[in-house]
Amino acid sequence: MKLLITGGAGFIGSAVVRRAVAGGMAVVNVDTLTYAANLDNLREVEGAAGYAFERADICDAPAMRRIFETHRPDAVMHLAAESHVDRSIDAPAAFVQANVVGTTVLLEVACAYLANAPAAIREQFRFHHISTDEVYGSLGAEGHFTEDSSYRPNSPYSASKAASDMFVRAWGTTFGLPVIVSNCSNNYGPYQFPEKLIPVAILNAIAGKPIPVYGAGLNVRDWLYVDDHAAALLTIVRRGRVGETYNIGGDSEASNIALVRTLCGMLDEVRPEGRPGQGSHADLITFVADRPGHDFRYAIDPSKVKRDLGWTPSVTIEEGLRRTVVWYLENAWWWQAIRERGFAGERLGLRRTA
């Protein structure tokens, strides 16, 4: 199977590319290389047999048509997206362009490609759209999102992903494109761009800077180790049923403040020299004004993907967080290069723009 993976230089996309290439699959990585994309994420697959990189914007229909016709993929895994909630508060139009317009361009190109493809490709082709649990909105203290949960997006980011999910389903029903949708919980692990909670907490702690936590830190998320997610996605694109939705979760709920305190405790263990005579890294935790419209809780019920496809998360949150802390400590070259490009880890999502 030859996979065309959009957003393959991003955090989740690069994990999928690395795993697919390691498994002997042919991969065409399409990425426009926005601020959060990083070809350093893919050093281990550079020059690998069957791997190709195309720098292109999914909103560019002529470029997408050329890439489809040149590489003739058997399946599309669509991960390219603007994904940071705080950035969507500051600049929502960019999320509509990338996540909604970009997805519809890709759907149109995929339909045209498939209409003229050989029977062997048409029979196995899949358009796998990768989305988020945030489309379902906010949960109270109990309950879990299932594939039948109603969509109630509350941020510009989640609204743009909800819209793209609906367009994918519409292309499946109206035009017969063989589509699959998956919605995942919060990912974490190596190579995550340092604007999300976990890398911000780790890198600020290393630098002795305040670790910002929104509100009282009581918002709860289900956490999914990125390599487990990549394994689930590759299982779905190979064996998932056309027209189905699969929710992928890590069975690992934690509040933001509990998560950050755990990270600080791990840093105290593995890097005690980091704050000699200054107490725990947890002393750096600083509560800041909450994000507008901050959803209280997300929790995924992954029973369907476990039952139907045999996938299950293999990394506990304790082990995943420890691996992540160690990775950031041992790979300063990666995040220092990002800092040198001008990203200082500033807080976003404080204002709205017209």
Catalytic residue (choose from 57, 82, 133, 195): 133
Q: How far apart are CA 57 and CA 90, in angstroms?
A: 22
* 135-138-144-148 Cα dihedral, nearest 10 degrees: -40
User: Is residue 301 among the annotated active site residues?
Assistant: no
Active-site residue, selected from the candidate residues 31, 57, 74, 134 = 134
Catalytic residue among 136, 157, 214, 298: 157
Query: Is 133 an active-site residue?
Result: yes
Helix, strand, coil percentages (3-state) for the chain, rounded to 5, are: 45, 15, 35
Instruction: Say whether 157 is catalytic.
Output: yes
Q: Alpha-carbon distance 108 to 302, whole Å?
A: 30
> Residue 233: exposed, middle, or buried by beta-carbon count in 10 A (0-12, 13-18, 19+)?
buried
Helix or strand holding residue 225 (H, E) = strand 220-225
Residues in a beta bridge with 54: 30
Alpha helices in 271-316 (DSSP H): 303-309
Which stretch of DSSP H or E encloses residue 71?
Answer: helix 61-71
Name the residues annotated as catalytic.
133-134, 157
